Amino acid sequence: MQTILFEDLGRVAYDAAWEYQETLMQANLRIKAARYNSPEANIPVEGGTQHHLLFCEHPHVYTLGKSGHMENLLVNDARLKELNISFFKTNRGGDITYHGPGQVVGYPILDLEHFETDLGKYMRNLEAVIIRMLVHYGIAGGRLPGATGVWLDADVKGKARKICAMGVRCSRWVTMHGFALNVNTDLRYFDYIVPCGITDKSVTSMQKELGKNVDAQEVKEILWHEFGNVFEAAIVPSGLEEVAI
């Protein structure tokens, strides 16, 4: 069983969280490079790279993936300034999305060589974590063929709506970026973009589906529990002794 170090960063600027992810990823890549390029260094396979799971919330920000299209941002720089929304082009996959207060954003930095070296399976596992968490609230999440993320009523024409967006980067099987789950998100901010570049589908939140405010801390606790279940790993608070979850 692998150990994943968990940190809840609270509310943090998008670029600061991105830089922190890069730091953790690069540390793992240096370890892997040393192992591959200098076998005589005798770095233990199980004792080198570390897995991390970061939770956070961002101030209002739009992020555009490396395969995204600028035309899916529907407002200009002046309007972004008026709305107090930041904008970043990122190195994750996917198109444009929104992060902001009321979301739970998850960034797993995992060495998939200790899980499965299959990026498609990794994405399906991330979706499974969200789907399993939603069951605790009586929300039936699912997948939409040809699209990533978690959807509601994906198979009902005209009703499909996304509750969790996903986009990742992977280098030498080390991941970064991850998922953004709409918990108590102000969905009006999605009106200024074409979310994920999909024009004929809407977005939703747990709050909207349940008709009430949702305890974000409870959601995070269930998420990390289900993350451990899906990835068959022990989730350990960073810097603390292992705890049962």
Q: Which of 56, 164, 170, 196 is catalytic?
A: 196
Tell me, what amino acid is at 15?
D
The residue behind tokens 């080390």 is 174
Which residues have C-beta within 8 Å of that of residue 154, sequence separation ≥ 6? 142, 143, 144, 145, 160
Buried b (16+ CB within 10 A) or exposed e, 166-186: bbbbbeebbbbbbbbbbbbbe
> Is 170 among the catalytic positions?
no
Phi-psi region of 177 (alpha: psi -120 to 50; beta: other; left: phi over 0): left
Tell me, what amino acid is at 55?
F
* C-beta atoms surrounding 101 within 10 Å: 15
Torsion, CA 228, CA 232, CA 236, CA 242, rounded to 10? 130
Which residues have C-beta within 8 Å of that of residue 15, sequence separation ≥ 6? 88
Q: Catalytic positions, please?
A: 196
